Structure 1
Amino acid sequence: MAIGLRRRDFLAAAGATVAGAALPWSPARAASTEIVWSTWNNLGLPDYIDPFTKETGIKVDQTYITTDDEQFARFKAGGAADVDVFVPGQWEMSRYIASNLVQPLDLRKIPNAAHMYPVFRDNALNKKDGIQYSLPYYWGINTIVYRADLMDEKPDWSVFFKGDKYKGKLAMRDYAVEGIMIAALYLGIPQTEIFSMDDRQLAECKKALIAEKALLRTYWTSIADLTNLFATGEVVCAFSWLPPYYDLTKRGIKMALSLPKEGVPSWCDVLAIPAGVEGERLEAAYKLVNYLLGPEYGLKLAYGGPYAQSTDLVRDKLPPEQQERIFIKDPAVMDSFVWPQIPRRYNEWVTMWNEVKAS
């Protein structure tokens, strides 16, 4: 079941020419000191990984992910046998676990995991029956991005659902899971109930979404198109990934972010080890996982992504402006995170979303 393209998917695709072509899915193993990492092509740049190889003698071959669904399909078809460490989305882990494609992690072999922020350490999406199958790796947020020069107040989720002040200048992503989740946050539905809403709650969301549609300029699907709409002023406020904020700020346009107190949609990719990895390969895989959660890699990711790790090992090594750029200057922001999940009634969510757009 597809959750959809994330903002780091976009950045990974944009960086493909830098990272080089992906290896075939079944790279040859030259020695036991070689392992294969299935990852996004902007996470394993030579500058990021060469220090690990230099320190450990372990060579890391990479095979690149194109979509979460593609990776899962390859694993289901037997491709997991050719991989030692992989990077799924956190909300994807339930299906990997249910399909017996991953093995439990021995946290004693990953000492950097002890430095995880509590919001990541305690996230049940990485566990089953109390057993840890994956570790949060790096993360970000999707939130309200707006033209601060064209809006006279900081918006919250209500801007999309009531009032005519910005009618025709608002945009929402064309994606059922996030769209309905935001309606639920606006309505005050408890976060613990959002992804298992009953008929009454879904009906309330549908009513709110129909009201929202009347205020929107567009449902966006391309982040490049949304960036252009912001640049021209056709859109002044949108639920968005962060590239328009970064890109247009560099162009001198006064952009801003709002982190609504009702909740901030967040995303996280995780590290996992396929079932069947054992022996020297397993020991090498644990060393790579530990390195990816550590400060040397984290410093490179903080500037190169820019992304934050799930551990606090790099925070105090960054200047305040970079901490703020990757949302770790004030860790209290993590208290408002809402982690998307595959809704219990996913097909009904998609049907309702399409009915709203057709209304």
Structure 2
Amino acid sequence: MSALLTRRQTLASIVGGVAAGALSLDRAKAAVSELVWATWDSNAHPEYVDPFKKETGTAIKLSFLSSEDAQFAALKTGAAKDWDVVNPGLNGTWRYIDAKVLQPLDLTKIPNRQYMYAPFKDTDKVVGKDGKTYAIPYLWGLNPIVYRKDKYSEEPTYATLFDSKYKGQLAMRDYALESIAVAGLFIGVPRDHVFTMSDAELAEAKKALIAQKPLLRTYWQTIGDLTNLFATNEVTCAFSWRVPFDALRDKLPMGMAKPKAGIFGWSDCFAIPATLSDDKVAAAHAFGNYLLGADYASAIAEIGNYATSSNIIRDKLTHEKQEAIFVDDLSVMNSFMWPVAPPNYSAWLKIWNEVKAA
């Protein structure tokens, strides 16, 4: 028996008021033939967004990101003129708001927001100093260590990623915030202090990362690339997203470790660039509402093993599926380490560039 009800059954159970709201949004943006969504490749398979086109007539063109920092830089420099909807990470959203590269959202045009879990709905990380909301968390999960069970006698920890025994088999993400934080945990910085490290601690983290660099097969940028490296036996352990575990566990002995030092939680947000033309704004809001709705939640839970920030389908999932996407025990939302870009993040970026150049 499927872990999910059919999409038709799920949608039939959604209250009429939300359906009516969605129809009004559809009419408002009917003239828009296409929106370009800048997001991660794991968030946006065509089957995740095809229902939006069927329901509204607006196609979603996918533009995949290489890094959070590259997305921010593109918006700040004006190099992202083709993007209609963007994907800032929850804990770095303040950078986008302060840089004035996002426009405030009209929450009345996103009725599915009422179904959001409280930690995401009530977060102040997406609210500007003007009191306006500039982004909405729509997807979340954790970033584990993914590894080959047949290559490791014990479950890996962050120390494994710095162990010369596994030279050439390791991979780290090409992302300053998480990679420097991993190094901080490795050198013993407490989890509640790792995103506010002192200059001395950052210097030690930098030393650890420079020593680690020769041990790595690569710094990965897209999760598809990392999955391929696991599939071809070029990488056996990596700080990762869960995608390689899910994609390969039926073919290879894959494991997913959750280090006791701290598990990195993540949340992606829906946001609209400040430069978006007025004729597309209603369509962009309608797409934001779709990301909190039953179609997207059903597809990404079934195919991608991810949970949205909405509880709209939670009670219709089997316990096994709830457990797989971490919504069986909702307290987990409060136990993750949520990466926070510190005020001195420019110093972190400088360190990261120096590590990669070493």
Q: Specify if TM > 0.5.
A: yes
Q: Judging changes above 3 Å, is the alpha-carbon distance between structure 1 residues 263 and 117 closer, same or farther for their aligned structure 2 residues? A: farther
**Which amino acid in structure 2 is aligned with residue 125 of structure 1?**
K
Q: How does 1:70-219 map to 2 (within 5 A)?
A: 73=74, 77=78, 85-90=85-90, 93-129=93-129, 130-161=131-162, 166-168=165-167, 171-173=170-172, 175=174, 176-191=176-191, 193-209=193-209, 212=212, 216-219=215-218
Contact 2:102 2:134 in 1 (8 A): yes
Give how far 1:77 is off. 4.0
**Which amino acid in structure 2 is aligned with residue 43 of structure 1?**
A
Separation in 2, partners of 1:234, 1:77: 37
- Give the match's secondary structure for 1:126: coil
Q: Judging changes above 3 Å, is the alpha-carbon distance between structure 1 residues 152 and 335 closer, same or farther for their aligned structure 2 residues? A: farther
**Which amino acid in structure 2 is aligned with residue 34 of structure 1?**
A
Separation in 2, partners of 1:78, 1:347: 20
What is the TM-score of this pair, normalised by structure 1?
0.71
Indicate the RMSD between aligned Cα atoms, in angstroms: 4.0
| 1:221 match | 220
Cα deviations by residue, 1:125-152 (Å, 9 ceiling, x for unpaired): 3222343211011234322112223323
Q: Which has the higher contact order (CA 8 A, sep 6+)?
A: 2
Separation in 2, partners of 1:235, 1:65: 26
Q: Judging changes above 3 Å, is the alpha-carbon distance between structure 1 residues 234 and 295 closer, same or farther for their aligned structure 2 residues? A: closer
Structure 1 unmatched ranges of 5 or more: 1-29
| 1:338 match | 337
Q: How does 1:164-313 map to 2 (within 5 A)?
A: 166-168=165-167, 171-173=170-172, 175=174, 176-191=176-191, 193-209=193-209, 212=212, 216-221=215-220, 226-227=226-227, 230=230, 235-251=235-251, 253-275=252-274, 285-313=284-312
Separation in 1, partners of 2:281, 2:93: 20
Confirm whether residue 34 of structure 1 aligns to residue 19 of structure 2.
no
**Which amino acid in structure 1 is aligned with residue 178 of structure 2?**
E
Q: Judging changes above 3 Å, is the alpha-carbon distance between structure 1 residues 213 and 135 closer, same or farther for their aligned structure 2 residues? A: same
**Which amino acid in structure 1 is aligned with residue 103 of structure 2?**
Q
- Give the match's secondary structure for 1:132: coil
Contact 1:265 1:337 in 2 (8 A): yes
Q: Judging changes above 3 Å, is the alpha-carbon distance between structure 1 residues 91 and 234 closer, same or farther for their aligned structure 2 residues? A: same
What is the TM-score of this pair, normalised by structure 2?
0.71
Confirm whether residue 65 of structure 1 aligns to residue 66 of structure 2.
no
Give how far 1:257 is off. 0.5
| 1:6 match | none
Separation in 1, partners of 2:355, 2:84: 43
Q: How many residues get paired?
A: 322
Give how far 1:180 is off. 0.9
**Which amino acid in structure 2 is aligned with residue 179 of structure 1?**
S
**Which amino acid in structure 2 is aligned with residue 258 of structure 1?**
A
Contact 1:72 1:96 in 2 (8 A): no
- Give the match's secondary structure for 2:140: strand
Separation in 2, partners of 1:247, 1:44: 14
Contact 1:142 1:239 in 2 (8 A): yes
- Give the match's secondary structure for 2:249: helix
Contact 2:158 2:259 in 1 (8 A): yes
Separation in 1, partners of 2:83, 2:185: 39
Cα deviations by residue, 1:30-69 (Å, 9 ceiling, x for unpaired): 9952345331487374774546754xxx432434324364
Give how far 1:196 is off. 3.8
Give how far 1:348 is off. 3.5
Q: How does 1:310-329 map to 2 (within 5 A)?
A: 310-329=309-328
| 1:26 match | none
Cα deviations by residue, 1:184-217 (Å, 9 ceiling, x for unpaired): 2334535554344321221232344356457x35
